[in-house]
Amino acid sequence: MSVSVEVPSLGESVTEGYIAEWKVKVGDHVQADDIILDLETDKITVAVPSPVSGTVVSLHGEIDDAVDVGAVIAVIEEGDAPAASAKVDAKEEAAPKAAAQPAAKKADAAQAPEGLSPAVSRLVEENNLDPSKIKATGPNGRLLKGDVLAHLEKPQGGVQPPAASQGSNEAREERVKMSRLRQTVARRLVEAQQTAAMLTTFQEADMSGIQAIRKKYQERFVKSHGIKLGYMSFFVKAAVEALKEFPAVNAEIDGDEIVYKNYYNIGVAIGGGPKGLVVPVIQDADQLGFAEVEQYITDLAGKVKDNSLSLAELQGGTFSITNGGIYGSMLSTPILNPPQSAILGMHNIIERPVAVNGEVVIRPMMYLALSYDHRIIDGREAVTFLKRIAELLENPERILLEL
């Protein structure tokens, strides 16, 4: 019996992925749960397993092809492994189908440097790169496609400017085709801006209270929980308390309905992995203590770096927080993470002169930004919500006491 293998669900609002690497070829015998191929999205790499044991009859799609969720990408004839002679016959019969693959791509696979997948090998060769000079983040030091793309997006030092006598700007330009990943990210960001009535409101917060708590209890916190007390746990807990008071900020639009969420799954933007910035989700953040939130974030950051996030860890978010301050940003307007209706932006903490009780004092200040969908959240709600978060951050004991 022939069994079709379909592109699985790839996460919220993700309708397609890209073929990153085939793990099998036509005529191969696979066991149930053997990996057939890797699919890439703008968020994650997904390994697609075989649902049955059998022989691969056909494969649909080439490396870098876009495939829709639910599309058939392989057909497997269920059954036991054929005898050795039967395997040879099967491969010979499959030759015409395999010939449909471009000769250049076959050559890429055949000539791929040791340890590199065909997709990675092709990128390396097309861009004349030295694999040994690219930072590898895969298991056992394996070079991933995302590593090569990240390397290509970095400004390369040591480039000599062209001679002035050439007289043309074209000689001083370099054109690099956007990766599938970058194209998808670009499209989704534009869609977010075009679909929602997005506005941003700003507030500032005095961080001296949180800094005092961290300084006073950091050592004891580490001894008790084995992890440092950072800033993000305060923001997550403050966001949860504010979301409880302003349910529209935790809601989303579905057609002509507003869906109010009575749970608080907080997405935290994390960078540094081969996929760039991703937003894994802290599930049921309202039920976690400070140490649990910090551990959750540490675990997610490790998975981002190792490119080992699961789909479940990227789904179900109701509100997101992004921290441009770790890169030195003073102020920004974060873009919504659909289908969520709001996102909170943290920024750099800078000591500035401020007026307190009629006197000018120096305080560690942070600008906060809330981007929101004006279709569902009124300006008054957005401003009051952000002001509430600032109040909680400036008086962190109120977070603990839920006041």
Which pLDDT belongs to residue 78? 85
Looking at the predicted structure, is the pLDDT value of residue 177 above 50? yes
Tokens standing for residue 107: 């050559």
Question: Averaged over 287-301, what is the pLDDT?
Answer: 93
Which residue in 61, 65, 70 sits closest to 10, CA to CA? 70
User: Which sequence positions are flagged as catalytic?
Assistant: 374, 378
- State the DSSP code for 348: -
pLDDT beyond 80 at 216: yes
- Number of helical (H) and strand (E) elements in the chain, helices listed first: 10, 19
Lowest average pLDDT, out of 67-76, 126-135, 171-180, 255-264, goes to 171-180
Name which of 142, 64, 59 is nearest 108 in CA terms: 64
What is the mean predicted confidence (pLDDT) over 345-350?
96
Q: Of 179-183, 247-251, 313-317, 343-347, where does mean pLDDT reach its minimum? A: 179-183
Q: For residue 92, what pLDDT is reported?
A: 52
Residue 42 · residue 188 · CB < 8 Å: yes
Q: Return the CA Rg of the chain.
A: 26
Q: What is the pLDDT of residue 353?
A: 95
pLDDT surpassing 60 at residue 98: no
Q: Which residues in the chain are classed under CATH 2.40.50.100?
A: 2-101
Choose the weakest-confidence range: 55-59, 250-254, 342-346, 399-403: 399-403
Q: What is the pLDDT at residue 106?
A: 43
**Predicted local confidence at residue 93, as pLDDT:** 52
Task: Summarize pLDDT for 353-380 with one digit per residue, the tens.
Answer: 999 999 999 999 999 999 999 999 999 9
Residue 105's pLDDT is 45
Burial 210-237 (b: 16+ CB within 10 A, else e): beebbeeeeeebeeeeebebbbbbbbbb
**pLDDT confidence band for 213 (50 / 70 / 90):** very high
More confident site: 79 or 166: 79
Residue 110 has pLDDT above 50, yes or no: no
Q: So what CATH class is 198-401?
A: alpha beta
- In contact, 85 and 107? CB cutoff 8 Å: no
**Mean pLDDT across 182-197:** 79
Question: For the whole model, what pTM was predicted?
Answer: 0.67
Token pair belonging to 290:
């400070």
| Range from 37-51, 247-261, 335-349 carrying the lowest mean pLDDT | 37-51
Question: Which carries the bigger pLDDT value, residue 66 or residue 72?
Answer: 72
Q: Is the pLDDT of residue 62 over 60?
A: yes
Q: 2-101 in CATH: which number?
A: 2.40.50.100
If we measure between CA atoms, which residue out of 247, 203, 274, 210 comes closest to residue 342? 247
Which part of the chain is CATH 3.30.559.10?
A: 198-401
Examine the pLDDT at 109 and tell me if it is beyond 90. no
Q: Over the stretch 146-172, which tens digit does the pLDDT of each residue have?
A: 778 778 777 655 555 454 445 566 677
Whether the pLDDT of residue 46 is over 50: the answer is: yes
The mean pLDDT of the chain is 83
351 DSSP β-pair partners? 364
